[in-house]
Amino acid sequence: MGKFLVLVGLLLVILGVVLTLVEHLPLGHLPGDIVIRRGNWTVYVPIATSLLLSLVLTLILNLLFRR
């Protein structure tokens, strides 16, 4: 259990560093992302961003865990 918690902690630290570094990339404002603004509320549906991140993560994980 201890090793698992250490691994989860390291993954959270790595995720935090990555999110800090990619903060200035234009992800989230891609063509295909839907933004609806009406009065005091906004609905944001990041379709293109989700597809791009899914493709990149799939490629990375396939390369890492290929047998």
User: What's the pLDDT tens digit per position in 4-52?
Assistant: 899 999 999 988 887 777 777 766 678 888 889 999 999 988 888 889 8
Q: Does the reported pTM lie above 0.75? A: no
Q: For 22-65, where are the alpha helices, taking DSSP H only?
A: 47-64
**What 8-state DSSP symbol labels residue 38?**
E
Taking the C-alpha atoms of 7, 11, 16 and 18 in order, what is their torsion angle to the nearest 10 degrees? 140
Contact 16, 9 (CB under 8 A): no
